[in-house]
């Protein structure tokens, strides 16, 4: 019984990492709506690259992509997971670069960088077909 639980958790390890990524995106978007004047939000959304699109649109995009990633994970759609990982990694890389270039060092820089790497890894697994082979075991 203990061995099957470990095997199941190991099989779903990437799923959990992507789920946490979706929660980060949703949380950042909601936090931006609730506290738009906080300096982390200022560095993440307003300073730098965001001058092209208004802050509320960026926050909405983060929430939408986070919800899309969560739905794709629950539907266990590889195409959905691939698209969600692409968009999530794009937004998280953008946020990491935005803070690194225009802001000052903050813990969110590390979190965004780690979760962008998780999504890039998930995307590479899906594109190479490893995820499909791994889930069929």
Q: What is the pLDDT along the chain (137 residues), one digit of tens a residue?
A: 456 655 554 565 667 788 888 998 898 889 888 876 766 666 666 566 566 777 788 889 889 999 999 998 888 778 888 899 899 998 888 878 877 777 777 777 788 888 889 888 888 888 887 666 555 44
Residue 104 domain-assigned?
A: yes
Q: What is the pLDDT of residue 67?
A: 95
Quick check: 26 and 61 in contact, CB under 8 A?
no
Pairwise CA distance, residues 89 & 48, whole Å: 18
pTM as predicted? 0.77
Contact 122, 92 (CB under 8 A): no
Task: Give the pLDDT of residue 137.
Answer: 44
Query: For position 133, what pLDDT does the model report?
Result: 53
H/E element, 58: helix 55-75
Residue 98 lies in a domain: yes
- Structural domain of residue 89, as residue ranges? 11-135
Question: Could you count the other beta carbons within 10 Å of the beta carbon of residue 37?
Answer: 7
Q: Give me the number of domains the chain comprises.
A: 1
CA proximity to 36, closest of 25, 27, 26, 46:
46
Query: In this predicted structure, what is the pLDDT of residue 107?
Result: 74
- Whether residue 2 lies inside any domain: the answer is no
Structural domain includes residue 6: no
Please indicate, yes or no, if residue 101 is contained in any of the structural domains: yes
Is there a domain that residue 35 lies in?
yes
pLDDT of residue 16: 78
Categorise residue 129: left if φ over 0, alpha if ψ from -120 to 50, beta otherwise.
left
């Amino acid at each position: 019984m203990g061995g099957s639980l470990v095997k199941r958790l190991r099989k779903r390890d990437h799923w959990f990492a992507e789920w946490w990524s979706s929660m980060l995106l949703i949380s950042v978007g909601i936090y931006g709506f609730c506290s738009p004047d906080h300096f982390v939000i200022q560095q993440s959304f307003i300073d730098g690259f965001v001058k092209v699109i208004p802050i509320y649109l960026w926050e909405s995009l983060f929430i939408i992509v986070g919800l899309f990633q969560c739905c794709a994970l629950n539907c266990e759609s590889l195409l959905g997971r691939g698209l969600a990982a692409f968009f999530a990694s794009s937004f998280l890389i953008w946020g990491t670069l935005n803070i690194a270039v225009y802001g000052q060092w903050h813990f969110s820089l590390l979190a965004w960088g780690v979760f962008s790497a998780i999504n890039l890894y998930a995307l590479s697994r899906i594109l190479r077909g490893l995820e499909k082979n791994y889930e069929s075991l």
